[in-house]
């Protein structure tokens, strides 16, 4: 895609700090470095996000994640690692080329805050929603 920054990284028009590359997948350090070692894993083929990804591309990209996550954790000495994927603007996607964030975590206070709101679950609503989603999965 012509104006896609990640496509320009894939083509070599924009430099990056590559940590992994094969025929289909590229992984490079995010220039924002939310935590030390913050890495992006992308398909080389342009696809907007997971919502538009075909099964073959998803299999190819996501199959690289465990190896990369282990390598990043070992190389950085991290205590853990978050795997994050944002799809569409409402979910925080800012670059519209599919990518997975691998965020090494070190300890509380490592300047990255990813907290879920704790509340009492409504199991009836959860069951209803699960049924609705199941119908879509089976379409």
Catalytic residues: 99
Q: How many CB atoms lie within 10 A of CB 8?
A: 16
C-beta pairs of 108-112 under 8 Å, 24+ apart in sequence: 110/35, 111/34, 111/35, 112/34, 112/35, 112/82
Write out the E strands in 59-139: 80-84, 100-105
Write out the E strands in the chain: 18-21, 25-29, 39-43, 80-84, 100-105
């Amino acid at each position: 895609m012509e104006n896609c920054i990640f496509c320009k990284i894939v083509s070599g028009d924009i430099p990056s700090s590559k940590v992994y590359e094969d025929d289909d997948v590229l992984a490079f350090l995010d220039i924002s470095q939310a935590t030390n070692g913050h890495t992006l894993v992308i398909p080389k083929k342009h696809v907007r996000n997971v919502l538009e990804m075909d099964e073959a591309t998803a299999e190819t990209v996501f199959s690289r994640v465990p190896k990369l996550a282990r390598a990043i954790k070992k190389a950085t000495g991290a205590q853990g690692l978050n795997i994050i994927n944002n799809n569409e603007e409402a979910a925080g996607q800012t670059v519209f080329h599919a990518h997975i964030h691998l965020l090494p975590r070190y300890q509380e206070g490592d300047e990255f805050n990813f907290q879920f709101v704790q509340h009492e679950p409504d199991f009836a609503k959860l069951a209803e929603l699960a049924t609705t989603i199941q119908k879509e999965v089976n379409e």
